[in-house]
Amino acid sequence: FAVVVILFCSACGKSLVSGKINPNMEYYQISLDASANDAYYAVRAALEKSDYAVSSEDLKAGTIVTTWRPISSDSHYVKLFDRKDYSVNAAYHQLEVHIVPAGENVQLKIGSRTKSLVAGLKSSGVEEKKLFFYVANVLRNDEPEITNLGVSTR
């Protein structure tokens, strides 16, 4: 009996499962009327405004990766019985940003890598779209140009 109690107590301090990084990452993307350099600085400003710290960056590859942070209540979900379940707790995510020159424009791609005990956790796009909004605000001119042809904010 003492052996069973000792084995049981020694197993209590060990974790039985651990979170896994989901290798499947969906990217949200937009096209920006900006140079790669301007887009880089706008992304850095948007990440700072959103309280994301940068873990690593590769300027030649145009990649920025943030540190891990807890998911918010609306940022990630699990597909459960043909509906989105946003009640996942104890999950973390990190953003990966790619700035890809495309002629005179830049493609900005943002994906969310997750780590959780729950398999199949997906991004709702809330964090990515918030960053797109902040990047567009940084790149927007202070004063719009209004003509008979329309409005230009760049």
Q: 4 pLDDT exceeds 70?
A: no
In terms of pTM, does the model score above 0.85? no
Q: Which of 5-14, 106-115, 118-127 tops mean pLDDT?
A: 106-115
pLDDT tier, 153 (very low <50, low <70, confident <90, very high otherwise) = low
For residues 18-30, average pLDDT: 88
pLDDT tier, 5 (very low <50, low <70, confident <90, very high otherwise) = low
* DSSP notation for the chain: -HHHHHHHHHHHTS-S---EE-----EEEEEESS-HHHHHHHHHHHHHHTTPPEEEEETTTTEEEEPPEEPPTTTEEEEETTEEE----S-EEEEEEEEEEETTEEEEEEEEEEEESSTTEEE-SHHHHHHHHHHHHHHS-SS-EEETTEEE--
